[in-house]
Structure 1
């Protein structure tokens, strides 16, 4: 069994509790625009890059790309407004990053969020210092569930994806990590795993707090092995 030598974290919904802020922004957007945006559609956006979400929204709106872009742009405006007051870290985020960094693991962010929005989110919680690499959704050709972002994230660390752990909260993120060849640890946020998604995971954990022990178990060591 290959050991885990590096760890690739999704950001939204995994380290930062932004998905609930996003849901609040979608609800406010629907109210302001006077349209219905189903919860199922909003959940389907989770883990996808913005261009994919815009296309899905346009399809739902009968192919009206102009309306979809206006709706999506309003959502972004409201989301950024709510972020200023509502955004919090996921429980255990800082403690887990400190523990894994102290154990010698290279850590990376692999997020569908564009860099211009991802970096302020990480800076807000003083998390940039923990990461050796940051790969964003506007820097790769194909977004999640394609494997590109985790393949590129591993490359930037100089590590084979098969020697990486991917930490995700979404179905699309799990699919992406699994397709890259990495071991996937899912910590569900808004959407629970299906049997199909569970099959792709090395472990499904209730919170971030359980992650160091789960990685240590894969590496067959009482503590996370140094890279």
Structure 2
């Protein structure tokens, strides 16, 4: 019996990945660097230190990385660093609340990003626990963040279900022995993820039709 739902945040609950990607591409172009969607998608779901290391290599050094980050921050500040909820997110959270299912977040983002972004869209109070990539040594696709999230809930893995949008995140949840529903955002899941997840759905709204 499912007693808890564990959600990724960026690209799953919040429609942030596409906006951040486009801002990164524009910020890089501003300093004469061609940065592609394919390069950005290599970072999705990974912990911030890992993503930073990879992006520095992609951009040709730390100086370029810092300039792109400044441009990214300026672009996101224009929107108050606020991103909209994904379709069906609020309805699903309300459904689980009404039915006594505990909800938590397990995101590679820093804790302050998680609390800020969830507060901005008014859903922070739905979550009993937050687990950040800052709390584990090995980020996604390592299972560590999901093992810690389950430990915080005080439940068995069999009593939890995970919602993920990325390959990296889905692999982390699968490695932790958890049931995973994949809601693709920028990339479609691999054959491995499709074979090992519980379901692939178009949106969180679509998942409500299975309940």
TM-score (norm 1): 0.86
Within a 5 Å distance, the mapping from 1:16-31 to structure 2 comes to: 16-31=14-29
Q: What is aligned with 2:73?
A: 77
Query: Greater CA deviation, 137-146 or 29-38?
Result: 29-38
Mapping for residues 1-227 of structure 1, pairs under 5 Å: 3-61=1-59, 64=61, 66-67=62-63, 69-71=65-67, 73-74=69-70, 76-78=72-74, 80-84=76-80, 87-214=83-210, 216=211
CA distance in 2, matches of 1:54, 1:15: 23
Deviation at 1:30, TM superposition (A): 1.0
Q: Please list the CA deviations of residues 171-209 of structure 1 after superposition, one character each: whole Å capped at 9, or x if unmatched.
A: 001001101110000011111112122112100011102
- Alignment partner of 1:84: what SS? coil
The answer on whether the counterparts of 2:4 and 2:160 sit within 8 Å (CA) in structure 1 is yes
* Structure 1, unpaired ranges of 5+: 217-227
Aligned with 2:187: secondary structure?
coil
* Inter-partner Cα distance in structure 1 for 2:43 and 2:16: 13
The offset of 1:23, in angstroms, is 1.2
Distance 1:167 1:49 in 2: 17
Provide the C-alpha distance between the structure 1 equivalents of 2:77 and 2:52, rounded to a whole number of angstroms.
Answer: 20
After superposition, the C-alpha distances for 1:76-100 in whole angstroms (9 at most, x for unaligned) are 5146325427721101111110001
Task: Tell me which residue corresponds to 1:221.
Answer: none
- Structure 2 CA distance, aligned partners of 1:68 and 1:46? 20
TM-score by length of 2: 0.92
Give the unaligned 5+ runs of structure 2.
Answer: none
Seen in structure 2, the aligned counterparts of structure 1 residues 51 and 68 have a Cα distance that, compared at 3 Å, is farther
Aligned residues: 211
d(CA) in 1 for partners of 2:50, 2:2: 31
SS of 1:126 mapped into structure 2: coil
